[in-house]
Each structure stands twice: as structure tokens, then as C-alpha cells.
Structure 1
Amino acid sequence: MLRVVLGWHGLRLLSRMCFAVCPRPPSCSASITGRRCSRLVRLRRATDRCRTGTSEPLGRGREDGLADPAELLPALPGPRGQTEQEVLEEEKSRPVFPAGICVTSGSRDESSGPRLMPLLLIKMLNKSRGKILGVLALFLVMVWYSIYREDRYTQLFYFPVQENKTTCPLGEVEKKASQLIGNYTRDHPLFLQLKDYFWVKTPSLYELPYGTKGSEDVLLRLLSITHYSLPESIQSLKCRRCAVVGNGHRLRNSSMGETINTYDVVIRLNNAPVHGYEQDVGSKTTMRLFYPESAHFNPKTENNPDTLLVLVPFKPMDFQWMEAILNDKKRVRKGFWKQPPLIWDANPEQVRILNPYYMEVTAAKLLNLPMKQPRKVKQKPTTGLLAITLALHFCDLVHIAGFGYPDSANKKQTIHYYEQITLKSMAASEHNVSHEAVAIKRMLELGLVKNLTYF
């Protein structure tokens, strides 16, 4: 708008300068006589007055603001028998000029046309000024609306706007989770502890991974060397803003690292690396959920010094492997679908055992799986969906990133951001990824979780 205003005044100034420096008409020669000579003399005098600024502009002006052509004519009658009245009639048919403008040459002067162009342009713009401003305002509104729609689309489907850290939606997750999870409660502890399972003699209804039935002895020895509490820095938070970071290919080249690091609690999965991928996945890790076959990572390199290493037990052999690692006993080699690491440099004070209750909730309430399944057709939740369920029972705000698998027809697309394996590798697993995708989309529709990368 400023450019339009400056351009308007600049055009008017240019027009005035053009008429101020107009050339002086030539004197009448012997060949120019009568009316024409008188007109040139009169115009020359007007030009002199225009140059010096010592007189009023030509013409008293008519009611419409234009100079009367009769005032530009000499009082003498023209040659060849023309009377003064005839001269006036002839001159009245000539173009008129706006009042207040110094005229420097006759209508037959070849330079008069170009000199009038700025004046006519100014007059035209002056009459259409309202329309021009209206069109300009409409254009600006259209541009703003287009940008607003694009930003809104991005917020809803790709990178939602982050909530202000000073405001916390306390109670919102609990309220919405109760609509999706039957008998939702936050009374169950996150991690197993001795007093809840042995001193009080609380029996478990299910075997692993949904309970501890039949694994009490080895679990007792394992819990005696591990801990169950949360760090005070997390426990004392009035609002727990959590980010559950999946291992999906969508994190590659996402530049989400800085955003992920801003959350109070960052939950990672299995052997997903951090070192070398900080720009896309961040560097902060509050909890890392894993099981023995996925423990092929350096606990000190890929985690922070205070990261909680949360064991997700799927079978009794998982307890035995963890006990052997922490007590430096003879390693267990059988009973795994993939050989777990035999050397694992972890601090026992950082190790936690996840409460199987959350595996039960994930399977029964979100995936509608039976707790007792035939051995040949067993289905289990993935660690990723389990981590989201855990966050729903612990956090006041839950955002996810790096979730989702490629379309089943796309067999060449990698599924992880850090390794070149495809969806074909999931065929022999006990996970139903399409079923889990439906569960996560239901959470998104309810506003229970929000997505940082498109799902």
C-alpha cells in the first residue's frame, strides 16, 4: 500500500515538472500572420509567466474547472475576413485544458500530445482510485486466506502447533482416554516393585506378556537388584508433556530433532539409534522400552546418563537374560527368536521392569485381542503401541512421531529410519500392523494424541 501511495504522488510531481520546464515557443516570423501569430504571442507570454511563477494560471476557469478556449485567443480579429465571433466559434471546438495548468504551445504543436499524457493518466487514476484500492484490498485478502488455509492444513495433518508450555491441559488425556479404554485408571504403577507383587501376595491372572503368573521366582531375584521409582525431575512436574518417538521411515530428513528435545519426557523404542540422527530424532531420551532381542544398542552411547532402561517382558526367558546380564552370570542362549546381546553394559540402577498391566490394556482394550490365544496364531502388540498406551496413563499431553508403515503394496519402501529393511520382515512377526494403525487413528480422531509427522 505504501508503494502505491508513493507512486501516485511521484506521478503527480513528475507531471508538474514536465510542464514547468516546457520550451518557449518561437517568435512570430513574417510568414506567420493574423490569428496564428497572435495566439503564439499570447502563449509565449503565458509560458513566461509559468516559468517565473509571477502570475495566475491561464484562464479564469469554467464551472467544471476547465479553462475556456476563448481566453486563450487574442482580441484582434483573424485574417482573411474572419470576425472575432467566428474565431471564437472555431476555437470553442478545440480541446479544453484543466484550469491551473500553464499551456506553452498551440494545439497544432507536435509535442503537445506527449505532454498531456501524464495529466490524462493522473486524471484517469484519480477517477478510478476507489476501484483500484478495492481491487488491491481484495487481492491482499485472497493472499492472506491462501496462506491461512495452507498453514491450517499443515497444522492438522502434518505438524500440529505446539501447545504453550505455560498452559497444560490437565485432565484432558484422562477424560478422552476413558472414552477409548474401558475401566481406565491411573492407579496401577508403571514399573514392577517387590512390595506390590510379593509382600502383599498379589496373584497375577495371566502369564507373560499379560501377567507374571509362573515367573515369580526369577522376577523376585531380578527386582532385588533393580529399581522402580521415577526420577524426581519427572515426578515433580506439574504438567508432563510427552513425546513417543517411533522408528518409522518418516523421521528420515524430517528435521524434528529440536522439537522432540523440547518435551519433558521422550520415550524411545528398542534399538533405534540417536547418535548420528540428532537432527531428525533429537538427542533427549527419558525412557527406552526394549526386550532382549532388541537390546543391540550401547546403553551409554544411544541414551542419556539418566535414561531409564525399561524391559518389556514377553516371556520368562526375558527375565532370565536380564538377571544374567546384571549379575554377570552364565548367559542364556536358548528360547529367543533372535540371539540377544551377551555383553550389555547397563547400570542396574537405571533398569526398570514394565508392569504387564499395560500390555494387557493395549491388547484387550485397544486391539481387542483375547488374553489366551492358541500358540500357532498368537498376536501381540508392538512396542510402539505399548509405549503410547503407557504415555496415556502417565502424561498430561501425548504427541507421537515416526509412526506408521508404508502401504502393503509398496514392498521396497523401508520401514525404519536407520536400516534398510522392508515390510516383508514383518510377515513372520506376531504383530498386526494394519490393526494397530486403526487404533492409532482412533486416538488421533478423538484428540487423545497429536501427530508430529504424518501417519
Structure 2
Amino acid sequence: MLRVVLGWHGLRLLSRMCFAVCPRPPSCSASITGRRCSRLVRLRRATDRCRMGTSEPLGRGREDGLADPAELLPALPGPRGQTVTSGSRDESSGPRLMPLLLIKMLNKSRGKILGVLALFLVMVWYSIYREDRYTQLFYFPVQENKTTCPLGEVEKKAAQLIGNYTRDHPLFLQLKDYFWVKTPSLYELPYGTKGSEDVLLRLLSITHYSLPESIQSLKCRRCAVVGNGHRLRNSSMGETINTYDVVIRLNNAPVHGYEQDVGSKTTMRLFYPESAHFNPKTENNPDTLLVLVPFKPMDFQWMEAILNDKKRVRKGFWKQPPLIWDANPEQVRILNPYYMEVTAAKLLNLPMKQPRKVKQVRGGDGRSPCSPLRGDVLPTGPLAVSSSALSLQKPTTGLLAITLALHFCDLVHIAGFGYPDSANKKQTIHYYEQITLKSMAASEHNVSHEAVAIKRMLELGLVKNLTYF
């Protein structure tokens, strides 16, 4: 638009300049003949072209009353003392007339030139203004999907909830602690390794304990602990969960077929023998850490037999674990029982000492108190606690995973935690199977106390819930 307007005004100005600079030469008369007449004819035609078709004649008798500029010039001396008038000058005097005519035209058109210049400046300003307004209204810069890392916030808030909070303990058991220097443990499993050192020594010789370099090198570890609760179904949280640096999953919860709701990324998967998936490669990434949560000495024996291809252990489990478990030993880790101790003693106020012989009491559905529901979800309302003694209660794998994340992550978010209301006994518990709340009747977990612990974390801002709790 600016170019069109300026071009039109420039064309008008140029035509006016030609009108003033290019006066029509006189016509041939009886006194002008021969070569001079032919030159005047050619000059007249060129001037007509310069005037761009202007129909107004110049010279005496113009309708606008203006005299021909050539008539205003004084007579010039000619050859041999003859005086050449304006009507008899030849074309050789044209170049000398050009500067005078141009100066006179500029003086007369000074106002118009200033007006055109002012119009040009206004059009330039308006063009820049419109472009800036367009940028402000319709240009949206791409925002980086980065969350400001609250370094130190988790440690500060966790110390308010967990007594003697520290990050000095390793996440996984290491061979050197049982080979070079035998560190005595105060508790038996699941809160310590007392009495299981020999089998643990053999197991640690074929597994690893370190975190992947991709996690260790992170300046900010953003973690998501994904429970197995029904509230993940139709939640469309998959893409959000995949954006976290560390994604912790529980037990044998499937991923394939539920990616839209639960995501597909798995950094760690906490499990115990009864909850192990028969083929860990189907529901995990190739680099997923398979973290064994030992609840009893038989869990170590099962893992050792599987990895060394020895005779399978069949007794001592409330449910037969997989007899074939195709996993890479380099991806297997043994969770440090210290975090089970912290979860039980600091968050749930459970006693550490366990009776040596406990009769396995099975519920009406054939499940033992150590049910596969361990660690999946937590209730929102009061839930009847098992009649087992308080010393039999153990933390769920879900609360244990949150405790673990609080000891090495800089940001902890949870998803898929929470049971349906206790009065709704037909509502399924998991997002992937049809087990109802009735199945928890024989569980040895005090899920009501665990719900209170997580709500306390939410109130302190220690964790953030991605799904309603």
C-alpha cells in the first residue's frame, strides 16, 4: 500500500516537473527555415512526449494566465551583434535555461514538495506502527517447556516430615558393603539384611548398584511416581508423564495399550517376586532399572536362582512367582532396605522388630496378607484394617516409591494414587484389571494411615498430585 501511494505521488510530481521544465518550442515560421525548422519540429515533438499528453498549451494566451517561462527570459545576444529574441532562439540555448527553470519550479512548488515529504514520513510511521501491532497481536513466541528447578526445596520440606532426613544412604545395595567390610544390620527383612548376608553376597556379585549416567548428570531430577490406581483410566496423562526425567512404576502394571493414560516411559520399576511380570521386556524400556524390593529372605533366593539359572524356588511365597524371568542382570538393582525402614518408622510409626514365625493367614479370595495390591494405590476414605497384629503391617510399594523419590529427586510429582470411597465396593482399584476394594480386606497394609501421610506431603508442598487424590 505504501509503495503504491508513494509511486502515485511521485508520478504526479514528475509530471509537474516535466510540465515546467519542458516548454513547447516555437513553431516554424517564415523566418525559421531549413535545418533549424526541422530541429525545432523534433524538439517540439520530444517536448510533447515529455509533457505526457498535457493538452494545455504554453505561451501567450494560456487559460491559467501564466506566461511561458521562455518568454520571461531576457533577449540573448546573437552572432555578429544580432539580438536573438525568445521566439528566434535555437535549441542550443535549452541547456542554459534548465537550471533557471528548475530553481523557479522548486520555489513555486516548495509547499507541494514539503507536503509530499510529510506524507511520505507519515506513511512510513503508519507502516511501522501497523507491523508492530500485528506482531503484538498475532505473533506468539514458542515457550520452552521447562520447570524452574527448586533445588533444595525437597530436602528442606522433607526434613519437616521425616526425622533425621539425609541423602547420604545409597539407593541400592552394593557388593563392597558385604564383601570387603561386613556392615552389620540391626533389622531383618524388610527393614534390614540381618541373616541374609550370604545369599545377598552371591546376588550382588552378578547385579549392579549405580544409577545411569543420564540420571546422575542431571542438574535437576524431575521425577514422577506412577501408581496403579483406577483414576489413571481415561486421564490422558500419558504425554505429561513422559516429560519427566525419571518415571517410577510399580509391580506388574502394564504400559502397552494404556500409553495415552499412563505414558510409555519407565526409568525404574519397583517389584517383588510375586508381582514380577513374567516377561519384563514387554512392559519396560530396554534401559529400565528393575528394582527388587525384598520383603523376605526367599525373595533373594528367587532372584539368585533366576539370574544364575539354578533350580527354582517354589516354596515360601503366597503366590508362585515366575519360573522364567528373562531380564538382563546389568539392569537389576536391589533396593536398600533403609528406605523401607524410613517409610515404616518415620511416616507410618510402625515397629521395626518382627516376630520370627508368622502363620500365613489367607483371605477369603485365597490371598495372603502380603497381597499383590501392595503399593498400587491408597484409599481416600477410612478402610478397615486387617486383624493382624500391628507388628505384621508393612508399607506399600507405592508409599515406598514416593519415599525413595524424596531422597534423590529435586521435584516429585505423583499420579494414580487413591482408592475409591470405602462404601463403593464395586469400583475397580486398578486401571488395568477388575479387582475391587473387597480384595483389600485381608491386606496387612494400613492404607488409611498411608493416605494421611501422603496428604501431609501434599499440604507441605513436598509432592504434587497430577491426578485427584
TM-score with structure 2 length normalisation? Answer: 0.62
Cα separation, partners in 2 of 1:353 and 1:54, compared to 1, 3 Å: same
Shift of 1:64: 46
* SS in structure 2 at match of 1:32: coil
C-alpha distance in structure 2 between counterparts of 1:210 and 1:306, whole Å: 28
C-alpha distance in structure 2 between counterparts of 1:244 and 1:413, whole Å: 23
8 A contact 2:19–2:51 mirrored in 1? no
C-alpha distance in structure 1 between counterparts of 2:135 and 2:163, whole Å: 33
Residues 263-292 of structure 1 show CA distances to partners (whole Å, capped at 9, x for unaligned) of: 000000000000110000000000000000
Cα separation, partners in 2 of 1:64 and 1:31, compared to 1, 3 Å: closer
8 A contact 1:308–1:352 mirrored in 2? yes
Residues 386-432 of structure 1 show CA distances to partners (whole Å, capped at 9, x for unaligned) of: 00000000100000000011111110011000000011111112111
8 A contact 1:160–1:451 mirrored in 2? no
Residues 337-389 of structure 1 show CA distances to partners (whole Å, capped at 9, x for unaligned) of: 11101111100000000000000000000001010145799900000000000
Shift of 1:165: 2.2
Shift of 1:294: 0.1
- How many residue pairs were aligned? 436
Question: What's the % identity of the aligned pairs?
Answer: 100
Residues 270-325 of structure 1 show CA distances to partners (whole Å, capped at 9, x for unaligned) of: 00000110000000000000000000342111000000000000000000000011
8 A contact 1:190–1:354 mirrored in 2? yes
Task: Identify unmatched segments of 5+ residues in structure 1.
Answer: 84-102
C-alpha distance in structure 2 between counterparts of 1:315 and 1:406, whole Å: 30
Shift of 1:204: 0.2
Larger radius of gyration: 2
C-alpha distance in structure 1 between counterparts of 2:2 and 2:234, whole Å: 41
TM-score with structure 1 length normalisation? Answer: 0.64
8 A contact 2:222–2:246 mirrored in 1? yes
Structure 1 stretches of at least 4 aligned residues deviating more than 6 Å after TM superposition: 1-83, 103-163, 375-378
8 A contact 1:275–1:302 mirrored in 2? yes
C-alpha distance in structure 1 between counterparts of 2:175 and 2:19, whole Å: 100
RMSD: 12.9
Cα separation, partners in 2 of 1:424 and 1:40, compared to 1, 3 Å: farther
Shift of 1:196: 2.2
* SS in structure 2 at match of 1:14: helix
Cα separation, partners in 2 of 1:410 and 1:62, compared to 1, 3 Å: farther
Residues 53-94 of structure 1 show CA distances to partners (whole Å, capped at 9, x for unaligned) of: 9999999999999999999999999999999xxxxxxxxxxx
Shift of 1:46: 54
Q: Which moved further from structure 2: 63-72 or 189-198?
A: 63-72
**1:2 — aligned with what?**
2
Cα separation, partners in 2 of 1:26 and 1:410, compared to 1, 3 Å: farther
Shift of 1:123: 55
8 A contact 1:50–1:57 mirrored in 2? no
C-alpha distance in structure 2 between counterparts of 1:135 and 1:424, whole Å: 88
Residues 116-165 of structure 1 show CA distances to partners (whole Å, capped at 9, x for unaligned) of: 99999999999999999999999999999999999999999999999962
* SS in structure 1 at match of 2:91: coil
Residues 201-254 of structure 1 show CA distances to partners (whole Å, capped at 9, x for unaligned) of: 211000000000000000000000000011000010000000000000000000
8 A contact 1:47–1:104 mirrored in 2? no
Shift of 1:199: 1.5
C-alpha distance in structure 2 between counterparts of 1:139 and 1:241, whole Å: 57
C-alpha distance in structure 2 between counterparts of 1:149 and 1:377, whole Å: 81
Cα separation, partners in 2 of 1:217 and 1:261, compared to 1, 3 Å: same
C-alpha distance in structure 1 between counterparts of 2:137 and 2:449, whole Å: 23
8 A contact 1:157–1:454 mirrored in 2? no
8 A contact 1:269–1:288 mirrored in 2? yes
8 A contact 1:255–1:279 mirrored in 2? yes
Cα separation, partners in 2 of 1:26 and 1:154, compared to 1, 3 Å: closer
Cα separation, partners in 2 of 1:143 and 1:307, compared to 1, 3 Å: farther
